[in-house]
Structure 1
Amino acid sequence: MQLSRAVRHISALYPGTLEEVVDAWIRIAPKERDQRALTIGNQELTYKSSFRFLGGASDDVNSLDPYRQIIFGAATVERWKQWILVKSRKKFSAGEATVPLRLAVKQDEAPCWLPELVDRPATLFWHGVIPELGAKKDAYRFAVDFDLLHAGLTVRAEHLMP
């Protein structure tokens, strides 16, 4: 009996993928996220402190810390020629202009869930990837390997809030 009580107070240690962590965050009620432990790297955080919403972020893309937190915000997903484009609603400073975050994926290389989100409200989540200003300076672009388990990018249907 004492052992079962002790185990209830120890957090489970399971190396969840980015996809699994995002799905868990969605399932946990917002008021409970600060009570659920989540470790990213060596940092002991909660599901509330582990996620950073773009809505309140500054327009300096370098102020985001995608190695420490999972960054998320509203996005659009659309087709363009042979590509699927994921674009953040939040815009960031790029010299005199403000530009979105953008991911371009060839349709035949897209993960199976991405085409289902075309023309629907969506939320972009990413971790461990630094976007870089594109050559045309029209967007901060991601180079993402969808085969990575703990870093990368994922998109979910609907505009999700903290």
Structure 2
Amino acid sequence: MSSDLMTIAICWELGEKVSVEYANSNSTLYYFCPEPECLERVAPVQGKINIFFRALNRHVTGCRHEKETTESSGAPGKPKKFTTAVPPTTVPTHLGIIPVSSRKTDPDPTQLLRLSQQVRTSPVTHPGTFQEVVDAWQTMSTGERNQHQLTIANQTSSYANAFTSLIHTGGGNLSAVNNSSIAWGPASVKLYGGSFFIKTFNKLNDGINRARIRIIVRPGQAYFSQLTHGTNINLFLHTTPTINNKGDYFEIPPSTPYSGFIIK
């Protein structure tokens, strides 16, 4: 028995262990306890503070996720209290939405047992937004960046290899800024005509043009209230820049939750 919140389950349609955050955003899928001796169906629920998995019926007796019973505290009228730890933040394993197979039938016990054994030592699948991936990278040590895997556009590498510094790109090659990795580097912030202009320190080369990447942040847009004229920032890019009509700057498409630019 445990008083800890259950935050990991098996997703039948995905065929992987997943985080409760993923399940909460994809509540129509089927989730099961990952313990081979249990495999009870579970669902994400919102508690007072955290989201966690709860069995639709009951975990089998002896399962480590079986709900801990309340015992007497020894004092009349005061039941024993258990402290539930806040689960750590889940590190994203994917940038973007994960395609889900359309399995039309519920799994039988044999299929579930086989799946639980297959994913027992696998990392917990947790897709993240561009912001969540950058936040995770920032909090990691060098060793953790080498240890944790990140899948972008169906390509899996370590966090260390998925991020490319624009300062260290050979010859300032624009190909470092793409939809298969994350590029980052210093940029300046200037205020002109009521809008902020963000420009990379380094000029980049696409084989024809050599220019800086420029981003214009107008009033009311994301980050506007966080920018200050004359400061420098770290700019994270997951996008495909193109040269503007004048040929003097590379510019990027509008941002989405999974692409564009992040400012730190």
The question of a shared fold, defined as TM-score above 0.5 by the shorter chain, is answered with yes
- After the TM superposition, which residues 76-115 of structure 1 pair with which residues of structure 2 at under 5 Å, given as runs? 76-93=188-205, 98-108=210-220, 110-111=221-222, 113-115=223-225
Counting aligned pairs with the same residue, the percent is 27
| 1:120 aligns with one of 231, 248, 252 | 231
Deviations 1:22-72 (A, max 9, x none): 0000000123211111111212211101111101113232x3251110111
Q: Which residue of 2 aligns with 1:13?
A: 125
Q: Distance in 1 between matches of 2:254 and 2:132?
A: 18
Q: Work out whether residues 237 and 261 of structure 2, in 8 Å CA contact, stay in contact via their aligned partners in 1.
A: yes
Aligned residues: 148
Q: Distance in 1 between matches of 2:143 and 2:183?
A: 19
Q: Work out whether residues 102 and 139 of structure 1, in 8 Å CA contact, stay in contact via their aligned partners in 2.
A: yes
Structure 2, unpaired ranges of 5+: 1-34, 36-63, 65-116
Deviations 1:66-92 (A, max 9, x none): 111011111112211121111101112
Structure 1, unpaired ranges of 5+: 157-162
Q: Which residue of 1 aligns with 2:151?
A: 39
The normalised TM-score by structure 1 is: 0.79
Letter in 2 for 1:125: F
Q: Distance in 2 between matches of 1:68 and 1:95?
A: 19
Question: Is 1:73–2:185 an aligned residue pair?
Answer: yes
Deviations 1:92-138 (A, max 9, x none): 24789742110112222x21x343232332111111x2111112222
Letter in 1 for 2:237: W
Q: Which residue of 1 aligns with 2:69?
A: none
Letter in 1 for 2:197: L
RMSD in angstroms over aligned alpha carbons? Answer: 2.5
Letter in 2 for 1:60: N
Give the strand-richer structure, 1 or 2.
1
**Against the structure 1 CA distance between its residues 42 and 94, is the aligned structure 2 distance closer, same or farther, given a 3 Å change threshold?**
closer
- Report the structure number with the largest CA radius of gyration: 2
| 1:130 aligns with one of 240, 251, 255 | 240
